[in-house]
Chains A and B, each alone.
Chain A
Amino acid sequence: DTEVTQTPKHLVMGMTNKKSLKCEQHMGHRAMYWYKQKAKKPPELMFVYSYEKLSINESVPSRFSPECPNSSLLNLHLHALQPEDSALYLCASSQDGRTGGSPLHFGNGTRLTVT
């Protein structure tokens, strides 16, 4: 079992829905990440929070809105998504805000389908 917990495991939503993905870690890590992964492709970085502040936004469309309520929690709010946004959304955490120091630990992801 992974130490990064993501809920829900699966999510089906319509293009007009609003939903949220949740991620939690209790390893005391201070950096948290959202990645998007399409089938047979590598994970692509979306957002990074370091010490609860957004440090990287990889030009992600505004229909994806991240939130870091505290150092253990990370949310991804979804609104007006498109079918091409269907993918596996992965959350990760690392010990400090600089990945050059420590590896990322990943959750098992939320499989999102947009209809």
Chain B
Amino acid sequence: GESVGLHLPTLSVQEGDNSIINCAYSNSASDYFIWYKQESGKGPQFIIDIRSNMDKRQGQRVTVLLNKTVKHLSLQIAATQPGDSAVYFCAETYYNTDKLIFGTGTRLQVFP
């Protein structure tokens, strides 16, 4: 289930289940979105991106969905594995800017 802790929302899932991590973005002008995975002691690692002219994009075991109407982004991870345990951040930017702004993040915990 999902819970909001003092700092980071946490999603706990069983190994093999599908995970869905949600993100609400702030700027209606944002046109490029990225999901990052950050493991303890490491920098953010690129997972998948999507541009505003798309609603869905698929990678290996991951799918990103974009709903511009409600400014909502989601990351779906199929067959979640223990190695998927990490903090996941969505990030947004808009045309012709160097600014990439991160959302608050969600901790994904995978239990056997």
Contacts and interface: CB of A to CB of B under 8 A. Distances in A.
Interface of A: 2, 4, 31, 33, 39-45, 48, 50, 55-56, 90, 92, 97-101, 103-109
B104 interface: yes
Interface residues of B, number: 27
Given A40-B7, A42-B89, A100-B31, A50 B98 contact: yes
Nearest to A4: B43
A33 B97 CA distance: 13
A104 B32 CA distance: 12
Q: Which of A44, A98, A100 has the most CB of B within 10 A?
A: A100
B93 A41 contact: no
Contact of A55 (B8, B98, B101): B98
A103 B49 contact: yes
Given A100-B31, A100-B93, A107-B43, A41 B98 contact: no
Interface in B67-92: 89
A88 to B, nearest CB: 8
Contacts of A100: 31-32, 93-97
A2 B101 CA distance: 21
B103 A42 contact: yes
Give me the 7 closest cross-chain CB pairs, A-B, nearest first. A106-B43, A42-B102, A40-B7, A48-B98, A99-B93, A108-B43, A100-B32
A8 B7 CA distance: 28
A98 to B, nearest CB: 5
